[in-house]
Structure 1
C-alpha cells in the first residue's frame, strides 16, 4: 500500500521548477485498447511521423529541455534517452508503436502527445513511501528493456522495496497488467510548463483515462511548494 509520495530535495536542486504530476486510479478495468483509442493513437503517430521527417528530434519541443534536465542530474542523454524521446524515435522510424494494453497504450499516447516522460505503475506492487530523486549506486532494477539498469546520477522513483521507475525505462516489478485494478501515473513536468497548465494537463489526462477504464481518479502536483503528499 502506498502511504506517501515525496519529491526529493536533491531533484529540486538539480532542476529548479520541476514538477511531478501524480494521478492515482482506483477500481479500474484494464483490457485491450478500444478501437477509438487505437485509431486516435495511430492517427497521431502518423501525423508525428510526417512532422519528424523534416524536424530533428532534438529540436522538438519538450525533448531539448529534458535533455538539459538529464545532463544536470548527471545523465548523458545521448546514451540514456528520456522515454518520450525513445517513443518519438520509434514513431519517426516505423510510424507506429506496438499496442500492449489499454493502460500502457494510453500512457504512451499521453507521452508523445505532451512530449514528456510519463510512467504508469501497478499500485498494488508499490509499498510505503515513494521517493522521486536523483539515484545512487544501489538504485537498480530489471527494466522493461530486458536489462538490469543502474540509476546512479539518473532520476528514479523508489519505494520501500527499492527502485521501480524512471523517465528512462520502467521496471518489470511494477508494470501495469490486464489484472491491475489500481494504478499510479507519474507525469514528469518540465520547469517551463506553468503550474496552471500542468493542472489542466492532469485533468484532461485523468478524464480520458477514466472514460476508458472507469473507476476513480485523484490528482496532485508535487513541486517546491508542495514536495510531498500522504495517501
Structure 2
C-alpha cells in the first residue's frame, strides 16, 4: 500500500505533515475503566480551564483553524474534528463512549490538540492519499450526513474518499471486530519533526498497551511525501 501526501498541499503549506500508525493483531473492546476515567477527568479539566479562557486559547485549535483558512476551508462551518470535541465539552456534554479504539482516539485528539482519524485497515484499498477533494469525492459520514469533500482536506483510497480532519466515513469505521487499523494524525504544521516522531511513538505505545498487537509508524512531510508499506 502506498501512503502519500499531495504535492499541492505541500505547495500551500510547506511544513504540512501527517503521521500514520498501522496496527496489527489488535483487540478492540469496551473501554476499560482506566480509559473512561482519564477521559472523564480530562473533560472536567477542560471545562474548568474554559471558565477562564476560550477554546481558541488552545494552540492546536487556533493553528488548525488557521490551517483550514489557508486551504480555503471555513472552520466556522466545517470545524476540525478536535475543535468539535472541545466545543461539545464546553457546552456541558460528555463525549459518548463508543469502544476502546474510538475512545482512545478522542483522548489523543484532546491531549495533542489535533484531528485524528482511525480506520479499519481491511476496508482500505491499494493506496491512501491525503489531498484536497474534488467535486466527485463524497462519503457517508459518521455524522449521519453525506459529506461533499470538494476543496476540503481529505483522505482517499481506490474506492474514493473515506476520511478527513473534519469527519470520517461509515465505510472505514472501526468496531470490536476490527483486528487491523490505520490511524491518521493531522499534525500541527508548526510542530518540529523530532517532536512529531515522539508524539507518534507515545500514542502508538499507549494504543498497543491497551489493544495488544504491533504498530508501525510512518511520517509524511515535505522531504518524504510518499512511503510504501
Per the normalisation by structure 1, the TM-score is 0.97
Matches of 2:51 and 2:142, distance apart in 1: 28
Alignment-derived partner of residue 126 in structure 2: 128
Alignment-derived partner of residue 137 in structure 2: 139
Alignment-derived partner of residue 58 in structure 1: 56
Matches of 1:95 and 1:217, distance apart in 2: 33
Matches within 5 A, 1:170-209: 170-209=168-207
Q: Which shifted more, 164-173 or 46-55?
A: 46-55
Alignment-derived partner of residue 37 in structure 1: 35
For the 8 Å contact 1:49–1:95, the answer to whether it is kept is: no
CA offsets per residue over residues 29-52 of structure 1, 9 Å max, x none?
000001111111111111011112
Q: 1:112 aligns with which of 82, 86, 110?
A: 110
Matches of 2:85 and 2:63, distance apart in 1: 16
Matches within 5 A, 1:43-122: 43-122=41-120
Q: 1:162 aligns with which of 160, 163, 177?
A: 160
Per the normalisation by structure 2, the TM-score is 0.98
For the 8 Å contact 1:84–1:116, the answer to whether it is kept is: yes
Matches of 2:136 and 2:51, distance apart in 1: 40
Matches of 1:53 and 1:176, distance apart in 2: 35
User: What's the Cα RMSD here?
Assistant: 0.8
CA offsets per residue over residues 43-73 of structure 1, 9 Å max, x none?
1111011112321212221111111111111
Q: 2:2 aligns with which of 1, 4, 9?
A: 4
Matches of 1:143 and 1:71, distance apart in 2: 22
Matches of 1:211 and 1:151, distance apart in 2: 35
SS of alignment partner, residue 24 of structure 1:
strand
Structure 1: gaps spanning 5 or more residues = none
For the 8 Å contact 1:30–1:179, the answer to whether it is kept is: yes
Matches of 1:128 and 1:53, distance apart in 2: 47
Q: Which shifted more, 21-30 or 45-54?
A: 45-54
Matches of 1:132 and 1:145, distance apart in 2: 21
The count of aligned residue pairs is 229
For the 8 Å contact 1:30–1:178, the answer to whether it is kept is: yes
Runs of 4+ more than 2 Å apart: none
Q: Which shifted more, 51-60 or 133-142?
A: 51-60
SS of alignment partner, residue 119 of structure 2:
strand
